[in-house]
Amino acid sequence: EIVMTQSPATLSVSPGERATLSCRASQSINSDLAWYQQKPGQPPRLLIYGASTRATGIPARFSGSGSGTEFSLTISSLQSEDFAMYYCQQYNQWPPETFGGGTKVEIK
Amino acid sequence: EEQVLESGGALVQPGGSLKLSCTPSGFTFNNFGMSWVRQAPGKGLEWVSTISASGGSTKYADSVKGRFSIFRDNSKNTLSLQMSSLRANDTAVYFCARRNRAQKTGGYYMDVWGKGTTVSVSS
């Protein structure tokens, strides 16, 4: 089973600042990585797939990079609606498809 | 708008059974594989099961293998998850999600998610 590790667990950022979230896979997953945003009481929302392709309707301030085992999600200028939980997920080798433990982006 | 809507969540006793359903709209259901993902209270996301577009292939997490069964009826546009021998640690919000294929790599990500249905297992 591929283990996905996200860091940090919590990221405190001021509105307008840049945020960078990390995700590491226990073995190479090529570019088979997705990022999801989840707000309390809501389902996950797909942000990025293929490590770097924005999903339909996702603002350009969200960008993904990486391949192999190291990945990152960058939010270039945090807006109020971006404060949420973020999960990475690998879909290269499954079952099981595995999620990271999440990074909470909170207001500083 | 492409959507999926889950139903069937309930409070059930340990050892009991429950069937969840997922109804799609806005897309051609039989063109897509589907998955169930769950989230225990205050916890992260856990993949549960996946079924191919035709229904001919199914996969399960080890935690539910032998107890849960995923199936679909493409003629009725319905996805289901039959859960049996339920345990307290099956308590979670269960999300239905559509799988879509990444053109570059061929892998499948989950792009359309329902709002979820709550399953509580308690005596």
Write the DSSP assignment of B44-89 as a string of letters.
-EEEEEEE-SSS--EEE-TTTTTTEEEEEETTTTEEEEEE-S--GG
Q: Specify whether the CB–CB gap between B34 and B47 falls below 8 A.
A: no
Residue A36 has pLDDT above 90, yes or no: yes
pLDDT (0 to 100) of residue B64: 98
CB within 8 Å: A42 and B115: yes
- Among all residues of chain A, which has the CA nearest to that of B60? A95
* Per-residue model confidence (pLDDT) at position B33: 97
Q: Which residues of chain B have pLDDT under 50?
A: none
Cα of A46 to nearest chain B Cα, Å: 6
CA distances from B110 to A36, A50, A75, B27 (A): 9, 11, 21, 14
Check B61 against A96: CB less than 8 A apart: yes
- Amino acid B102: pLDDT: 86
Average pLDDT, chain A: 96
Chain A hits for B111, Cβ within 8 Å: 46, 49, 55
pLDDT surpasses 90 at A16: yes
Q: Is A39 helix (H, G, I), strand (E, B) or coil?
A: coil
Instruction: Determine contact: A68 vs chain B, CB below 8 A.
Output: no
Contacts of B102 in chain A (CB under 8 A): 32, 49-50, 53
In the three-class reduction of DSSP (H, G, I as helix; E, B as strand; rest coil), residue B115 is classed as coil
The reported pLDDT for the residue numbered A23 is 98
Tens digits of residue pLDDT in A66-108: 999 999 999 999 999 999 999 999 999 989 999 999 999 999 8
